Amino acid sequence: MDTGSVNAMRVDSARLPRPKTTASTSPAPKKRRGDRSHLGPIVLAAGAGLLLCSFANALARETLAPSPLLYWAGVLVIALPIFYRLTSREASFGERLGLVCLLGLSLYMVKVVRDAPIFNFSDELVHSFNANQIADHHHLFHHNSIISITPHYPGLEGATSALMSLTGLSSFWAGTIVVGAARLSLVVAMFFLFQRLSGSARVAGLGVAIYTGNFNFLFWGAQYSYESLALPLLVVIMMALAERESSPRTWAREWGLPIVLATVAIVITHHLTSYALVVFIAVLALGHWLLRKTWSWPNPWKFAVLAAALALAWLLLAADSTFGYLSSPLSEAFKAVFNTASGEAPPRGLFQSHGSAIPPTPLLARGVALLAVLILTVGLPFGLRKIWPRYRSQPFALLLTLAGIGFFGTLALRLAPQAWETGNRLSEFLFIGLAFVLAGVGLEKWRPKGRPWVGRALLAGCLGVILVGGAISGWPWDTQLARPVRASAEGRTIVSPPLAMAEWARDQVKSGRFAAPVADARMLLDPGNHLSLAGESPDIVDVVENTSLEGWEVPLLRENNLRYVVIDRRELASDGIRGYFFTTEGAGFDETLLPKSAATKFDAVPGAERIYDNGPITVYDLEGKR
């Protein structure tokens, strides 16, 4: 691979001074013997690992209950050769860059081959509905009944609509391509960021490798959701700020436009990321002032002001409901932390799913997840020891270090029942700092008895544990593998009960809103293409789960203009992760049904007609007798 003039970083440049100019101005070092790129065989291994993951998922879709080890073996076949090569001194800058791209894309494809060709993460169905609305109506800001804030941050769906309208692709494929492009931007920008800050391509590659162990990297962060686009753009801005800082002043101005464009895009795309951006640049500017006592170049305070002004303007002009959307979970999180810390409420158990019938995470998997956290914790002081003498006068590196330390605070949030989600979201951002701190530990240089491979192999193994452990912590164990939402039977295709109901609604119901359990409501959005309400506000949960009809239920439905009620007797219908699939004979936990009266109670409602029945799912038309 031609690395162009940026080959400058091909030597293990941990020893290099921090670059002051762009890499393109550095001379390319001479090629040494044994420096041959290993990218080709590693690409082949990644392809094999991906096929192994796809095979494990295929077995799971066939309801053959494959060993999870097959799937994890696939993940490790992708990652370990990349990790091992990234630890080497010999790999060139270009090879490391190629490895990082390969790592990011291959791990993204692990999620894609789990789900294709239909979205089945709960937020994905919400965003794909928004994208379909834009494609159908040619305008942004159409109402979304499940997460009403999402149409007010239409960046992801707007970008997706470009590919949808130009090509005729479905929102699944267009969205998968957009998020894939964002993923690639994320890992490459992070590589350049770490390389610019550390002056070492090896540290940069290892930093990205460590970041893949963040709890949300494999699944949650790869879903078709607004943060999956906004976070990569945030990292691009971080990289641009680092590049700007290390450029001569006459060139620094050029970085302004990319930073501004990416800032505008983030503000349109995702609330939390735009606020994280404001905080990040503001603290960076403050750090510059504290360490260098100046507000002039390269202090980025102007970008902080711009980002804050744009985020505020968007909040006030286009998305004022964000206040309510964010304030409720944040205040709940604060309360939960206080209650747990004061002993008023018991701590949340780790590896807990919300239904008692959900199979627990096996001990071995819990052990790997905890081992991953242990490795991160043990590595931190070693990383800090390297960071402090080298970077103590550099605000950017110090800010990342603070973020890295802060990551462990998010672990504590996981112990408070209502705060774990806040901690989970925060961890994605703070893990960037932790990855930077840990990348400089230098375990790969350890050579007991002159065996250089020992340190490298140990580090690659640790990275493997961090990757697998992070994925186990970030996504429920029982849903790491796919479940069947479509299946073939006697040469034709059959679909799961909620999908069948949603497709019926799309094809047969012209208009009208639905009240439904969580999973059905999301499928009614996409592919159902109908507005639906679920959850506790308004109290749809009780309407669809109670075994007898309370006096307030029908008036509530009418007040909210909900003509149709979906009663799904599967207990899993209330589960936004597990509720979309076929019930599996013998699985036990997904066969639990609500009492029949949960559905039949609507037979007694005057004017209501049962217009759809597929066994577990019944749909009533409250205006059926008009």
Residues 607, 623: contact at Cβ < 8 Å? yes
Interaction with other proteins in 432-471: which residues (CB under 8 A)? none
Interaction with other proteins in 117-136: which residues (CB under 8 A)? 117, 134-135
Mark residue 45 as left, alpha or beta (left: phi above 0; alpha: psi -120 to 50; beta: remaining).
Answer: alpha
Site string for other proteins, 313-352 (x = CB under 8 A): ----------------------------------------
Q: What are the C-alpha distances in Å from 479 to residues 59, 330, 344, 449, 605?
A: 14, 27, 32, 44, 38
Residues 110, 218: contact at Cβ < 8 Å? yes
Q: Whole-angstrom Cα distance, residue 540 to residue 13?
A: 59
User: Please, which residue, 255 or 475, has the CB nearer to other proteins?
Assistant: 255
User: Please, which residue, 188 or 304, has the CB nearer to other proteins?
Assistant: 188
User: Please, which residue, 256 or 367, has the CB nearer to other proteins?
Assistant: 256
Question: Structure tokens of 228?
Answer: 């999956």
Q: Does 423 bind other proteins (CB under 8 A)?
A: no
Interaction with other proteins in 64-93: which residues (CB under 8 A)? 64
Q: Whole-angstrom Cα distance, residue 484 to residue 587?
A: 13
Q: Does residue 23 sit in helix, strand or coil?
A: helix
Residues 125, 144: contact at Cβ < 8 Å? no
User: Please, which residue, 37 or 424, has the CB nearer to other proteins?
Assistant: 37
Which spans in 88-200 are helix H?
A: 93-115, 122-137, 155-167, 171-198
Residues 545, 574: contact at Cβ < 8 Å? yes
Question: Structure tokens of 94?
Answer: 């270009």
Which spans in 199-225 are helix H?
A: 201-211
User: Please, which residue, 459 or 481, has the CB nearer to other proteins?
Assistant: 481
Q: Does 258 bind other proteins (CB under 8 A)?
A: yes
Other Cβ atoms less than 10 A from the Cβ of 544: the count is: 26
Report the DSSP pairing between strands 609-613 and 617-621. Answer: antiparallel
Count of chain residues binding other proteins (CB under 8 A): 124
Interaction with other proteins in 392-411: which residues (CB under 8 A)? none
Q: Does 3 bind other proteins (CB under 8 A)?
A: yes
CA angle, 571 then 625 then 537, to 5°: 40
Q: Which stretch binds other proteins (CB under 8 A): 57-65, 453-461, 524-532, 558-566?
A: 57-65
Q: Give least dist CB 178 to other proteins, A.
A: 7
Q: Give least dist CB 5 to other proteins, A.
A: 5
Contacting residue, 16, 63, 458, 563, with other proteins by CB under 8 A = 63
Contacting residue, 20, 31, 32, 44, with other proteins by CB under 8 A = 44
Q: Give least dist CB 372 to other proteins, A.
A: 26
Contacting residue, 208, 236, 434, 543, with other proteins by CB under 8 A = 236
Interaction with other proteins in 564-593: which residues (CB under 8 A)? 582-587, 591
Q: Give least dist CB 518 to other proteins, A.
A: 20
- The residues, any chain, with a CB within 8 Å of residue 102's CB and separated by 6 or more, are 39, 42, 43, 46, 82
Q: Does 155 bind other proteins (CB under 8 A)?
A: yes
Q: Give least dist CB 235 to other proteins, A.
A: 9
Q: Which stretch binds other proteins (CB under 8 A): 227-235, 328-336, 351-359, 541-549?
A: 227-235
Q: Which stretch binds other proteins (CB under 8 A): 297-305, 351-359, 454-462, 618-626?
A: 618-626
Q: Does 599 bind other proteins (CB under 8 A)?
A: no
Contacting residue, 154, 175, 433, 474, with other proteins by CB under 8 A = 154
Interaction with other proteins in 473-532: which residues (CB under 8 A)? 484, 486-490, 492-497, 500-501, 504, 508-509
Residues 289, 299: contact at Cβ < 8 Å? yes
Q: What are the C-alpha distances in Å from 620 to residues 392, 605, 615?
A: 66, 10, 13
Q: Which stretch binds other proteins (CB under 8 A): 1-9, 330-338, 402-410, 560-568?
A: 1-9
